[in-house]
Structure 1
Amino acid sequence: MTTINSNRITGLATGMDIDEMVTNMLTGEQSKIDKAEQKKQTQTWQQEIYRDVITDVKGLYDKYFTATSADYILGTKTFSTVSVKSYNSDVITATAGASAGNVNYKFKVTAMAEPAKLESDRIVKDDAISESESTININGKEITIAAGSKVSDLVKSINNTFTNGDVKASYSEMTGKLTIETKATGRDSKLEFDGELFTDLGMSTNGTGSVNGSNSYIEVYSSDGRTLVNTIEEKSNSFTIDDITYNITGRSDDLISMISTKDTQGTVDKMKEFIEEYNSMIDNIYGLVTEKKDSDYPPLTDAQKEEMSETEIEKWESKAKTGILRNDSELRRFLDDMKATLLGEIEGAWVSLNDIGITSVSDYNKPGQIALDEDKFKKALEENGDQVYKVVTGTLEKMKKVTYNYAGGSSSIFAKKAGIEKTATVVNNLFSEQIKKQEEYIKNLITKMEDKQEKLYLKFASLESSMNSLNSQMSYLTSSLS
């Protein structure tokens, strides 16, 4: 209990234990302070538990619904049941999407797609490339070259002019050559130039003109290599045909076999992993809103903690935290919204989640959780991979929206209630405001108790003074009569 530092009488004249009497007389005030402290502790625990929930929900979002994550689950790659093997991956590789079919062909890469490019004669790195100030023009942009500039200065000037990287200059110390090229590849890419410097550097015979890039050119043959099936000409070295993305990294006069195989297990494992983490999150939150509070275990007061061991305190507080978020409205709504994502049809999909082996758990104690029939899901992938992709990703997109709305950022529902670390909401949230108000309330209660305490000691001091005076008179009378 809070005490006041002052010179207080000891009760020698009255024979009373004044400190104990004052303490007993302030029991009501101390009880109010203890209850207010317990309420503050409960609010602090509620905020801490809420932030753990935010971590779980945002963790699920970041891991599975963020495109840059290695575990991103919404891309076609996750639902691809086709794996394409290249027998010369230095020249060509392929990645199948969700609706890709089987392939068994031989490819001949005659040419790669190239950018529009200019290349100089050999230039000595530290030699001046311009004796006097001059200008050049590249794709309509004028660039000034100072007198005495070196090749490094030219490279810097060009790259600073094209900050978006549409045109890039580079110098190789190995070859001693300057290269200027477009970012885009293909026949439509163009590099227009003008300036005597281009002639001086051996890039042009007359200092003006334009160059174009070139397309990639690939011949596709039957699996035995005898029949030409198709010729492919693309402006890029990466292109998609029949939901298979091909990447060209070199050329070869040899025929290169590309053969696909079915592989559904990877997709099954990824879906199983997601469902397990999803169910764990839902189960934890459901437990928080349904567990009953044990009124026999309120937060401990400081006085109670002094009489207990650390182990006893930990066990007590573990029970005291139980049920403090029972029927929390925001957590309840989150569970309802997540459960709703499993309902309704998905546009473009003519199968349902149930059709592909994804259902709600039948146990009524596990509402909102998901069950996966692996065999049924695997069969659906093999037979209707594109439909599986549509219905699953359509459902997951709804989950993504809900998780973001509740825990995706500082404006989310949970952040406004409990706050997210390293954001402004860490102090600007409902629980922090409640805790701050409770601290002010406790401070006022302590001030009132201290005022009452001081008044009680003053009264006992007056009583002690009176008793001292009375004792002196009695002593005088006794001595007078003896």
Structure 2
Amino acid sequence: MTYIGTLSGQSGSSSGVSSSGAGFSGGISGLASGLNTDSMVQGLMEAAQVPLVQLLQQRQITQWKQESYQRVNNTLNDLSNSLSSLQLQSTFLQNTSTSTNSSLVTVTPASGAQTASYSVQVYQLATGATVSSAGSLTNPPASAQTYDNTAIAQLSTMSGTTDANPSTISSSFTVNGESFAFNPQTDTVNSVLAKINGDSKAGVTGFYDSNTGKVVLQTTGTGSTAKIQVSGDTSIFTGAFGLVTSSSMTSEAVTGSPGADNTPQLNVQGSMDIGGVQYTLTSTETLGALQQAIHANATTTGVDATIVNGNQLQLTGTGLFSGISVSDPTMHQDMGTVLGFTLDSAGQSSSVTAQNAYYSVNGYETSSQSNQAKLNGNTFNLMGTTAGTPVNVSVSTNVNAIVQTITDFVQQYNETLQYMQGQYNQVRNYDYQPLTSAQASQMTDQQVSEWNQKAQSGMLENDSLIGGIMTNIENVMDNQIVSGQPTSTVNGQTVTLNSMASIGITPISPITGLSSGSVAPGVTTSGFNSYGLLQINTAQLTAAIQADPTSVMNLFTNSGTGTPTNPSSDTGIGKLLYNAVSSSISQLQTQAGIGDKYDPTAPGSSTTSSNSSTDFSSLLSYTLIDPNADLTTLFSPDGSDISYLGQQISQFDQNALSMNSQLAMLQSRYQQEFSDMESSISQLQTMQTAISSMSSSLG
């Protein structure tokens, strides 16, 4: 529960007078008695309000303690988030790579890839299929308008699409199975290309090159299976775009002895890739058998084969502009040098066929549809042919990244424990109680803030819950030995990496401070407040990771055979500490609830040094104590806060409201008694006046 209008680091009076509270109303008093009865009532009420003021001050102190617990809880949540990654094996399986020629070949390691070196040769890069217009696109001769991106002709008015009845021109086509509709009367070249580009499933993009006046279509993928297959209204491609028929290839005459089918034997050894399908060639393979195999795959490859002149193999693209991809992955060269293929001119288009990438890794030769080839889980990025000079690439443990991850965790741990140490050791100033509005009215804003800073200090002084939490997490970090770890050789010494100390992470000595060669990330204190904080010998940590990264990983991540509440001796330190921190968070939430997201470890927010007279950014929220205020409007119940301190505050609220009601009745009683006294005195005075008047008349 909190006060409405709570002040956070700001000061000023929040006092007020309410007709429903125990406030004092002004007026003319003591007319009969000559006494200032209002002042007398106020004095009596101020004495009667002392218990209520003390109750409200105790309520405020309880709120401060609750918020102090919540701030500790926030720091533990941050530590828990840091520990989440420290339990994962992937955190310790980070790799890095090197290349002797990164402009030709690099490698992206797989997660957990083993340290290895590779000798890579690239014989051929993967490419996509590309086709372009035979010449510049033009409008009808009668038009002097130049075709470019600013003056785009309609399809029906372009050369090659003019028709006596333009409405008979088809209005749809497919590219690689994807259908597209267009209107020849309104669509332009660019609008049609935009439709193709907008459908990623087609796997084709196109653009108009204003420099040459040509349309270019190209596949988005690479490899010998990348194709541009068009059906439907092909006139838009052959006419408007100037893209024409496919190419063909014819081999030289094969002079081998006739085989069983009366076609000559090939007399070559190896394999041939046509349109993504590989054919194994032997010296006894006949030209007819090869032709039949290619013909059987024509639907898949887009390439058909026929025998001409009885001893030559002719390859022909079966699509509108199907490219013919022929290569030899074994001999790393164009198959034309094997069977003597030459490209026939079969149209006016400029065509580059798609092809696979061919490469070898440590002597193992293989191919890939793309230039990002995967092998052994690693991705080899092929960017250029190696021209017979291998590129050496290596995969190794990214020691620096792992060291940095552990260092970041130690910093978070130190900041958390350092904050808790400061709260635990901070001395309580019992002479400074929460201010009343009457007291604050006699102070400056600076004085109010300084007073509250002293009044709030030491809320968790020697707190048993905080002390127990620190002891638990310190025991895990300082004393835990993980069983089952193998021996490792680090810097020539046989060691067992089974504790934080074994990898160079040890507690700081409160007496002598840092050890030689060590650093303490996140530590800004010394002496007694540094108890339990950690230091890192970075050289020792680095050497341990370099020598045996698996043992370092298991030291943190090993699941063990136990349970979170009853862990076994082989449970990793990261998991043990995570469980300890999670348990501590639960205890704090039971004690004080969740609270806000204030970060007490952020720069300028630390409350460990409350002697500052100028920095009040870390002040806990407060409300000036005013027993005359309407408490029903000051209390803001939080029904979701079922914590121990939250329930205490609720009880304070109920008691304060009850006391306030009793004080209001007491004030009414005092006022009524003085009013009755005044009335009696007034009556006596009236009688005295009457008697005096009668005496005077008799005399």
Q: Secondary structure at the match of 1:418?
A: coil
Amino acid at match of 1:470: L
Q: Give the C-alpha shift of residue 427 in structure 1.
A: 9.1
Q: Give the C-alpha shift of residue 404 in structure 1.
A: 9.5
Amino acid at match of 1:93: T
Classify 1:61/1:438 alpha carbon distance in 2 versus 1 (closer, same or farther; 3 Å): same
- The answer to whether the Cα contact below 8 Å between 1:74 and 1:396 also exists between their aligned partners in 2 is no
Which residue in 2 is equivalent to 1:218? 359
Structure 2 Cα separation of the partners of residues 19 and 219 of structure 1? 103
- The answer to whether the Cα contact below 8 Å between 2:126 and 2:223 also exists between their aligned partners in 1 is yes
Q: Secondary structure at the match of 1:109?
A: strand
Q: Counterparts of 1:193-208 in structure 2 under 5 Å?
A: 195-196=231-232, 200-201=236-237, 202=243, 206=319
- The answer to whether the Cα contact below 8 Å between 2:175 and 2:202 also exists between their aligned partners in 1 is no
Q: Give the C-alpha shift of residue 281 in structure 1.
A: 1.1
Classify 1:379/1:274 alpha carbon distance in 2 versus 1 (closer, same or farther; 3 Å): same
Of residues 356, 367, 372 in structure 1, which corresponds to 2:536?
372
Which residue in 1 is equivalent to 2:174? 136
Asked whether 1:302 is paired with 2:437, we answer: yes
Classify 1:247/1:337 alpha carbon distance in 2 versus 1 (closer, same or farther; 3 Å): farther
Amino acid at match of 1:388: V
Asked whether 1:459 is paired with 2:606, we answer: no
Asked whether 1:145 is paired with 2:181, we answer: yes
Structure 2 Cα separation of the partners of residues 274 and 58 of structure 1? 13
Which residue in 1 is equivalent to 2:220? 181
Q: Report Cα offsets for 1:228-267 as digits up to 9, x if no partner.
A: 7554645565567788764444555474754779995665
Structure 2 Cα separation of the partners of residues 256 and 27 of structure 1? 95
Structure 1 Cα separation of the partners of residues 508 and 45 of structure 2? 56
Of residues 20, 45, 57 in structure 1, which corresponds to 2:64?
45
Q: Give the C-alpha shift of residue 464 in structure 1.
A: 1.7
Structure 1 Cα separation of the partners of residues 577 and 173 of structure 2? 53
How many residue pairs align between the two structures? 451
Amino acid at match of 1:357: G
Amino acid at match of 2:91: G
- The answer to whether the Cα contact below 8 Å between 2:193 and 2:207 also exists between their aligned partners in 1 is no
Structure 2 Cα separation of the partners of residues 196 and 43 of structure 1? 81
Which residue in 2 is equivalent to 1:20? 39
Whose helix fraction is larger, Structure 1's or Structure 2's? 1
Structure 2 Cα separation of the partners of residues 407 and 173 of structure 1? 66
TM-score by length of 1: 0.68
- Structure 1 gaps of 5+ residues are 221-227
Amino acid at match of 1:462: D
Amino acid at match of 1:274: F
Which residue in 1 is equivalent to 2:663? 449
Of residues 555, 560, 572 in structure 2, which corresponds to 1:391?
555
Q: Report Cα offsets for 1:57-93 as digits up to 9, x if no partner.
A: 45556678579xxxx996357x65x66254444x333
Which residue in 1 is equivalent to 2:688? 474
Q: Give the C-alpha shift of residue 469 in structure 1.
A: 2.5
Classify 1:252/1:161 alpha carbon distance in 2 versus 1 (closer, same or farther; 3 Å): same
Which residue in 2 is equivalent to 1:282? 417
Which residue in 2 is equivalent to 1:84? 98
Structure 1 Cα separation of the partners of residues 34 and 55 of structure 2? 35
Of residues 484, 489, 505 in structure 2, which corresponds to 1:358?
505
Percent of pairs with identical residues: 19
Structure 1 Cα separation of the partners of residues 433 and 592 of structure 2? 27
Moved more, 365-374 or 18-27: 365-374
Classify 1:145/1:478 alpha carbon distance in 2 versus 1 (closer, same or farther; 3 Å): same
- The answer to whether the Cα contact below 8 Å between 1:349 and 1:391 also exists between their aligned partners in 2 is no
- The answer to whether the Cα contact below 8 Å between 1:155 and 1:169 also exists between their aligned partners in 2 is no
TM-score by length of 2: 0.50
Q: Report Cα offsets for 1:130-170 as digits up to 9, x if no partner.
A: 9544353756xx545243555666677667766xxx66554
Q: Report Cα offsets for 1:96-142 as digits up to 9, x if no partner.
A: 67775474x76443344567x67665987656679544353756xx5
Structure 2 Cα separation of the partners of residues 404 and 198 of structure 1? 69
Which residue in 2 is equivalent to 1:75? 91
Which residue in 2 is equivalent to 1:224? none
Structure 2 Cα separation of the partners of residues 361 and 294 of structure 1? 30
Amino acid at match of 1:45: W
Classify 1:73/1:387 alpha carbon distance in 2 versus 1 (closer, same or farther; 3 Å): closer
Classify 1:31/1:129 alpha carbon distance in 2 versus 1 (closer, same or farther; 3 Å): farther
Structure 1 Cα separation of the partners of residues 190 and 654 of structure 2? 66
Of residues 584, 595, 598 in structure 2, which corresponds to 1:418?
595
- Structure 2 gaps of 5+ residues are 1-14, 138-147, 157-168, 238-242, 247-318, 326-353, 488-496, 511-527, 559-571, 599-637
Pairwise CA RMSD of aligned residues? 5.3
Structure 2 Cα separation of the partners of residues 415 and 195 of structure 1? 72
Classify 1:102/1:447 alpha carbon distance in 2 versus 1 (closer, same or farther; 3 Å): same
Q: Give the C-alpha shift of residue 331 in structure 1.
A: 9.2
Structure 2 Cα separation of the partners of residues 348 and 174 of structure 1? 65
Q: Secondary structure at the match of 2:684?
A: helix
Classify 1:152/1:268 alpha carbon distance in 2 versus 1 (closer, same or farther; 3 Å): same
